[in-house]
């Protein structure tokens, strides 16, 4: 008899679900479920939970005006801003700018995120384990193998690695390391082990083009006459089944200044909750070229990304695919077909 992987022990699962917070239940609702590997040769039937997207806000359409009215979607009046801006009546300080970037701008920042942003002295999640890695993307494109990477041991700024001895890694394909890339930091470097900005770490300023873009896009969340100062950025790289759990970004000094969050690549679901995990979050689509601003009270809200869509129909990246047509950029195309990149820019002080 065939076994049902997800259908078993329904009552136990329901009881466990009741113990979860509202935010965790929403994450579970939208997350991507992967079928476990069979432990035997017996045929198994996988029954995946039905993905109900009826309550997901779509800021690029107005086909569900009833839902928008129920959730409190509002159009924000920004006289000096040349794009439509939306907000949520119960979440002051939250702004959504759909299709904020042109397709050319999206392609440019995808290239920069893969080729330039992981370059030292910018730190990545790989740095504590492999030390600085130069030209990772180009090495992966050329199918190279790194044979001289060393565990950096007491690498400056990463206290969690202080007890590890320096040792040489076995040869590792650059493509494997690229797929392990989960974040890189620009400008002032964030020390994830200490959860603060380490101003003593070597760093370059945020690229001028990204600064200019962030200043412009932050303006709906800024008081008249004030200008956003980009001082740090974190670039997140999502693979097909990756998610970002609910959290609050609370390490910057002035929460009245927005976080400018740029979405690139595959479509995703973004959850915006309240000040505790018990507050039920609102789900919304974020697509390539969309920008989210979170300032003031919105900075205190839990938020996360439980799902990215990587199949061609749901990812909605046809316009990107038509841009990466040259032989030299096929590797970028292959990467972005099933990946999402998020650049979030911050004013630290």
Which tens digits make up the pLDDT trace of 242-256? 999 999 998 888 899
Strands 3-4 and 44-45: parallel
Average pLDDT, the chain: 86
Q: How far apart are CA 83 and CA 256, in angstroms?
A: 22
Supply the pTM of this predicted model.
0.87
Decide if pLDDT at 159 tops 80: no
Q: Look up residue 187 and give its two tokens.
A: 């400008």
Contact assessment for residue 265 and residue 288, using Cβ atoms and an 8 Å cutoff = yes
pLDDT attached to residue 36: 58
Sheet holding 282-286, edge to edge: 244-247, 303-308, 268-272, 282-286
- 316: region left, alpha or beta (phi > 0 left; psi from -120 to 50 alpha): left
pLDDT attached to residue 39: 57
Q: Look up residue 310 and give its two tokens.
A: 């990587």
**Number of neighbours of residue 120 by Cβ within 10 angstroms:** 15
Query: How far out from the chain centre does Cα 288 lie?
Result: 11
Q: How far apart are CA 168 and CA 171, in angstroms?
A: 9
Contact assessment for residue 247 and residue 302, using Cβ atoms and an 8 Å cutoff = yes
Known binding-site residue numbers: 247, 249, 303
pLDDT attached to residue 18: 56
Q: How far apart are CA 212 and CA 231, in angstroms?
A: 12
Span of 17-31, 95-109, 114-128, 316-330 with lowest mean pLDDT: 17-31
Q: How far apart are CA 149 and CA 133, in angstroms?
A: 8
Span of 17-21, 130-134, 181-185 with lowest mean pLDDT: 17-21
Decide if pLDDT at 44 tops 50: no
Cα Rg, the chain, nearest whole Å? 21
Percent of the chain with pLDDT over 90: 66
Question: What 3-state class would DSSP assign to 232?
Answer: strand
pLDDT attached to residue 245: 94
| β-pair partners for 270 | 284
Which of the four pLDDT bands, split at 50, 70 and 90, describes residue 99? very high
Q: How far apart are CA 99 and CA 12, in angstroms?
A: 43
Known binding-site residue numbers for Fe cation: 247, 249, 303
Contact assessment for residue 27 and residue 243, using Cβ atoms and an 8 Å cutoff = yes
pLDDT attached to residue 185: 95
pLDDT attached to residue 160: 43
User: Strands (DSSP E) along 102-169, which ranges?
Assistant: 145-146, 150-151, 167-168
Decide if pLDDT at 123 tops 80: yes
Average pLDDT of span 17-36: 82
Span of 140-144, 187-191, 192-196, 215-219 with lowest mean pLDDT: 192-196
Per-residue pLDDT reduced to its tens digit, 283-321: 999 999 999 999 999 999 999 999 999 987 788 999 999
Question: What 3-state class would DSSP assign to 336?
Answer: helix
- Distance set, CA 108 to CA 36, 178, 263, 311, 340 (Å): 38, 19, 13, 23, 15
Decide if pLDDT at 47 tops 60: no
pLDDT attached to residue 7: 40
Which of the four pLDDT bands, split at 50, 70 and 90, describes residue 227? very high
Average pLDDT of span 213-241: 95
Tally the C-alpha atoms within 13 A of residue 115's C-alpha that lie toward its C-beta.
11
């Amino acid at each position: 008899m065939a076994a049902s992987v997800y259908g078993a022990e329904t009552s136990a699962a329901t009881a466990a679900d009741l113990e979860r917070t509202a935010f965790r239940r929403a994450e579970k609702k939208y997350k991507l479920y992967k079928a476990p590997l069979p432990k035997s040769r017996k045929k198994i039937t996988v029954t995946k939970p039905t993905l109900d997207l009826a309550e997901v806000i779509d800021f690029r359409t107005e086909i569900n005006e009833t839902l928008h009215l129920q959730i409190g979607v509002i159009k924000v009046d920004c006289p000096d801003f040349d794009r439509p801006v939306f907000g949520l009546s119960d979440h002051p300080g939250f702004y959504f700018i759909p299709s904020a970037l042109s397709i050319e701008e999206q392609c440019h920042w995808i290239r920069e995120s893969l080729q330039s942003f992981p370059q030292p002295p910018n730190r990545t999640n790989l740095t504590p384990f492999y030390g600085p890695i130069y030209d990772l993307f180009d090495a992966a494109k050329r199918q190279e193998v790194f044979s001289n990477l060393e565990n950096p041991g007491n690498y400056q700024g990463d206290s969690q690695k202080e007890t590890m001895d320096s040792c040489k890694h076995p040869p590792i394909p650059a493509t494997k390391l690229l797929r392990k890339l989960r974040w890189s930091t620009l400008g002032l470097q964030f020390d994830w082990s200490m959860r603060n900005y380490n101003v003593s770490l070597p760093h370059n300023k945020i690229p001028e083009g990204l600064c200019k873009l962030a200043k412009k896009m932050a303006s709906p969340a800024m008081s008249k006459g004030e200008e956003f100062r980009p001082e740090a950025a974190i670039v997140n790289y999502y693979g097909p089944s990756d998610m970002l759990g609910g959290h609050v970004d609370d390490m910057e000094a002035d929460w009245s200044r927005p976080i400018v969050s740029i979405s690139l690549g595959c479509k995703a679901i973004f959850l915006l909750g309240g000040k505790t995990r018990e507050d039920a979050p609102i789900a919304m689509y974020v697509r390539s070229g969309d920008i989210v601003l979170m300032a003031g009270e919105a900075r205190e809200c839990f938020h996360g990304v439980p799902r990215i869509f990587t199949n061609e129909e749901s990812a909605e990246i046809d316009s990107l695919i038509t841009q990466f047509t040259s032989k030299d950029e096929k590797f970028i195309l292959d990467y972005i077909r099933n990946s999402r990149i998020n650049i979030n820019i911050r004013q630290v002080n």
